[in-house]
Protein backbone atom coordinates (compact mmCIF):
# COMPACT_ATOMS: atom_id res chain seq x y z
CA UNK A 1 0.00 0.00 0.00
CA UNK A 2 1.80 3.12 -1.12
CA UNK A 3 -0.82 5.77 -1.67
CA UNK A 4 -4.50 6.30 -2.20
CA UNK A 5 -6.62 8.93 -3.86
CA UNK A 6 -9.53 8.50 -1.49
CA UNK A 7 -9.81 6.94 1.95
CA UNK A 8 -13.33 6.27 3.18
CA UNK A 9 -14.04 5.63 6.85
CA UNK A 10 -17.45 4.47 7.99
CA UNK A 11 -18.61 4.56 11.57
CA UNK A 12 -15.44 4.24 13.58
CA UNK A 13 -12.32 6.03 14.68
CA UNK A 14 -9.27 5.90 12.46
CA UNK A 15 -7.10 2.86 12.98
CA UNK A 16 -3.73 4.07 14.17
CA UNK A 17 -2.21 0.64 13.87
CA UNK A 18 -2.59 1.01 10.13
CA UNK A 19 -1.52 4.67 10.44
CA UNK A 20 -4.53 6.06 8.62
CA UNK A 21 -4.67 8.87 11.16
CA UNK A 22 -1.17 10.05 10.36
CA UNK A 23 -0.88 12.89 7.84
CA UNK A 24 2.40 11.28 6.74
CA UNK A 25 0.40 8.39 5.31
CA UNK A 26 -1.71 8.96 2.23
CA UNK A 27 -0.61 12.57 2.04
CA UNK A 28 -2.47 13.28 -1.15
CA UNK A 29 -5.60 11.34 -0.28
CA UNK A 30 -8.94 12.95 0.29
CA UNK A 31 -10.60 11.50 3.37
CA UNK A 32 -14.33 10.92 3.25
CA UNK A 33 -15.65 10.23 6.72
CA UNK A 34 -19.09 8.91 7.53
CA UNK A 35 -20.32 8.31 11.05
CA UNK A 36 -23.30 8.74 13.32
CA UNK A 37 -21.35 10.61 16.01
CA UNK A 38 -19.18 13.66 15.37
CA UNK A 39 -16.22 12.11 17.25
CA UNK A 40 -16.05 9.28 14.73
CA UNK A 41 -15.52 11.79 11.95
CA UNK A 42 -13.34 14.37 13.63
CA UNK A 43 -11.10 12.42 15.98
CA UNK A 44 -7.76 13.32 14.43
CA UNK A 45 -7.82 13.66 10.67
CA UNK A 46 -10.63 15.72 9.31
CA UNK A 47 -12.41 14.59 6.23
CA UNK A 48 -12.60 16.62 3.04
CA UNK A 49 -16.19 15.40 3.21
CA UNK A 50 -17.82 14.54 6.55
CA UNK A 51 -21.28 13.01 6.53
CA UNK A 52 -23.40 12.40 9.60
CA UNK A 53 -25.19 9.17 8.72
CA UNK A 54 -25.95 5.70 10.03
CA UNK A 55 -22.95 3.40 9.36
CA UNK A 56 -25.23 0.38 8.99
CA UNK A 57 -27.41 2.13 6.40
CA UNK A 58 -24.33 3.47 4.62
CA UNK A 59 -22.73 0.03 4.39
CA UNK A 60 -25.98 -1.54 3.25
CA UNK A 61 -26.29 1.05 0.48
CA UNK A 62 -22.67 0.56 -0.57
CA UNK A 63 -23.03 -3.22 -0.78
CA UNK A 64 -26.24 -2.84 -2.73
CA UNK A 65 -24.59 -0.38 -5.10
CA UNK A 66 -21.48 -2.54 -5.55
CA UNK A 67 -23.67 -5.51 -6.48
CA UNK A 68 -21.68 -7.94 -4.31
CA UNK A 69 -18.50 -7.69 -6.41
CA UNK A 70 -15.52 -9.57 -5.06
CA UNK A 71 -13.42 -7.46 -2.69
CA UNK A 72 -9.92 -6.40 -3.77
CA UNK A 73 -8.89 -5.43 -0.26
CA UNK A 74 -5.56 -6.99 0.70
CA UNK A 75 -6.73 -8.53 3.96
CA UNK A 76 -3.57 -10.62 4.34
CA UNK A 77 -1.44 -7.48 4.40
CA UNK A 78 -3.59 -5.88 7.09
CA UNK A 79 -3.75 -9.10 9.11
CA UNK A 80 0.05 -9.44 8.91
CA UNK A 81 0.53 -5.90 10.20
CA UNK A 82 -1.93 -6.41 13.01
CA UNK A 83 -0.34 -9.77 13.91
CA UNK A 84 3.13 -8.19 14.07
CA UNK A 85 1.84 -5.43 16.29
CA UNK A 86 0.11 -7.87 18.63
CA UNK A 87 3.24 -10.02 18.83
CA UNK A 88 5.42 -7.01 19.70
CA UNK A 89 2.91 -5.81 22.31
CA UNK A 90 2.85 -9.28 23.88
CA UNK A 91 6.66 -9.43 24.05
CA UNK A 92 6.78 -5.98 25.61
CA UNK A 93 4.17 -6.90 28.21
CA UNK A 94 6.10 -10.07 29.07
CA UNK A 95 9.38 -8.21 29.44
CA UNK A 96 7.62 -5.55 31.56
CA UNK A 97 6.18 -8.22 33.83
CA UNK A 98 9.55 -9.92 34.28
CA UNK A 99 11.73 -6.82 34.67
CA UNK A 100 13.40 -6.23 38.03
CA UNK A 101 12.68 -3.06 40.00
CA UNK A 102 15.23 -0.31 39.68
CA UNK A 103 16.47 2.27 37.24
CA UNK A 104 16.14 -0.10 34.30
CA UNK A 105 13.31 -2.09 35.80
CA UNK A 106 9.54 -2.00 35.53
CA UNK A 107 7.73 0.77 33.79
CA UNK A 108 6.22 3.55 35.84
CA UNK A 109 2.40 3.23 36.00
CA UNK A 110 2.09 6.18 33.64
CA UNK A 111 4.33 4.49 31.07
CA UNK A 112 2.47 1.21 31.55
CA UNK A 113 -0.88 2.93 30.93
CA UNK A 114 0.47 4.48 27.74
CA UNK A 115 1.44 1.00 26.55
CA UNK A 116 -1.91 -0.50 27.61
CA UNK A 117 -3.90 2.22 25.89
CA UNK A 118 -1.77 1.93 22.74
CA UNK A 119 -1.13 5.65 23.15
CA UNK A 120 2.07 5.74 21.13
CA UNK A 121 2.45 5.59 17.41
CA UNK A 122 5.89 6.71 16.22
CA UNK A 123 6.81 7.39 19.84
CA UNK A 124 8.66 10.67 19.26
CA UNK A 125 6.26 12.67 21.41
CA UNK A 126 5.79 9.94 24.00
CA UNK A 127 8.59 10.89 26.43
CA UNK A 128 7.30 14.47 26.54
CA UNK A 129 3.72 13.30 26.95
CA UNK A 130 4.71 10.96 29.79
CA UNK A 131 6.69 13.66 31.59
CA UNK A 132 3.92 16.22 31.13
CA UNK A 133 1.46 13.64 32.46
CA UNK A 134 3.68 13.05 35.51
CA UNK A 135 3.87 16.80 36.20
CA UNK A 136 0.12 17.11 35.79
CA UNK A 137 -0.69 14.20 38.10
CA UNK A 138 1.81 15.42 40.69
CA UNK A 139 -0.24 18.60 40.93
CA UNK A 140 -3.74 17.38 40.26
CA UNK A 141 -5.08 14.08 41.53
CA UNK A 142 -8.31 13.87 39.59
CA UNK A 143 -7.82 15.90 36.41
CA UNK A 144 -10.71 16.60 34.08
CA UNK A 145 -10.30 16.07 30.36
CA UNK A 146 -9.79 19.81 29.98
CA UNK A 147 -7.05 19.70 32.65
CA UNK A 148 -5.38 16.86 30.76
CA UNK A 149 -5.53 18.69 27.45
CA UNK A 150 -4.08 21.81 29.07
CA UNK A 151 -1.43 19.78 30.89
CA UNK A 152 -0.22 18.11 27.71
CA UNK A 153 -0.66 21.12 25.46
CA UNK A 154 3.08 21.81 25.24
CA UNK A 155 3.57 18.51 23.42
CA UNK A 156 2.47 17.89 19.89
CA UNK A 157 1.77 14.43 18.60
CA UNK A 158 1.98 14.53 14.84
CA UNK A 159 0.42 11.08 14.62
CA UNK A 160 -2.73 12.38 16.22
CA UNK A 161 -2.84 9.69 18.91
CA UNK A 162 -4.53 12.14 21.27
CA UNK A 163 -7.69 10.13 22.09
CA UNK A 164 -5.56 7.22 23.30
CA UNK A 165 -3.09 9.51 25.07
CA UNK A 166 -5.95 11.15 26.97
CA UNK A 167 -7.33 7.71 27.85
CA UNK A 168 -3.90 6.66 29.13
CA UNK A 169 -3.63 9.75 31.32
CA UNK A 170 -7.13 9.19 32.70
CA UNK A 171 -6.24 5.59 33.53
CA UNK A 172 -2.90 6.60 35.08
CA UNK A 173 -4.64 9.23 37.22
CA UNK A 174 -6.41 6.42 39.05
CA UNK A 175 -3.09 4.70 39.87
CA UNK A 176 -0.65 7.40 40.90
S1 LIG B 1 3.34 9.14 18.89
FE2 LIG B 1 4.25 9.98 17.16
S3 LIG B 1 4.30 12.07 17.44
FE4 LIG B 1 3.17 11.24 19.02
pLDDT per position as a tens digit, 42-94 = 777 888 999 999 999 999 998 888 887 777 778 898 899 889 989 998 998 88
Residue 51 contacts residue 31 (beta carbons within 8 Å): no
Identity of the highest mean pLDDT range in 20-24, 50-54, 93-97: 50-54
- Kindly list the distances between the CA atom of residue 122 and the CA atoms of 65, 118, 127, 158, in Å, as whole numbers in the listed order: 38, 11, 11, 9
146/23: higher pLDDT: 146
The sign of the dihedral angle between the CA atoms of 47, 50, 56, 60 is: negative
- Residue whose CB lies within 8 A of the most ligand 1 atoms, among 118, 124, 128, 153, for a mutation test: 124
> What is residue 7's three-state secondary structure?
strand
The model carries a pTM of 0.50
Please list the alpha-helical segments (H only) found in 3-54.
38-42
Q: What is the CA radius of gyration of the chain?
A: 19
Question: Which domains are present in the chain?
Answer: 6-69 (no CATH), 109-173 (1.10.150.120)
In this structure, what DSSP letter does residue 52 have? E
Q: State whether the beta carbon of 126 lies less than 6 angstroms from ligand 1.
A: yes
Looking at residue 143, its pLDDT comes to 96
- How wide is the angle at C-alpha 120 spanned by C-alphas 135 and 9, nearest 5°? 125
The sign of the dihedral angle between the CA atoms of 59, 64, 69, 70 is: positive
How many angstroms separate the alpha carbon of residue 119 from the centre of ligand 1? 9
Q: State whether the beta carbon of 127 lies less than 6 angstroms from ligand 1.
A: no
> What is residue 63's three-state secondary structure?
helix
- 121 Cα nearest atom in ligand 1: 1
Amino acid sequence: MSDADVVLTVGRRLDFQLAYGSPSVFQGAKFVRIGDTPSEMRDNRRGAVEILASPAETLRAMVEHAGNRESKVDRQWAAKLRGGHEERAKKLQQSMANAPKGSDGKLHPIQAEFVKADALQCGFCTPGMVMACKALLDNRKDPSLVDIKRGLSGNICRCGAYPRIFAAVQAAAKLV
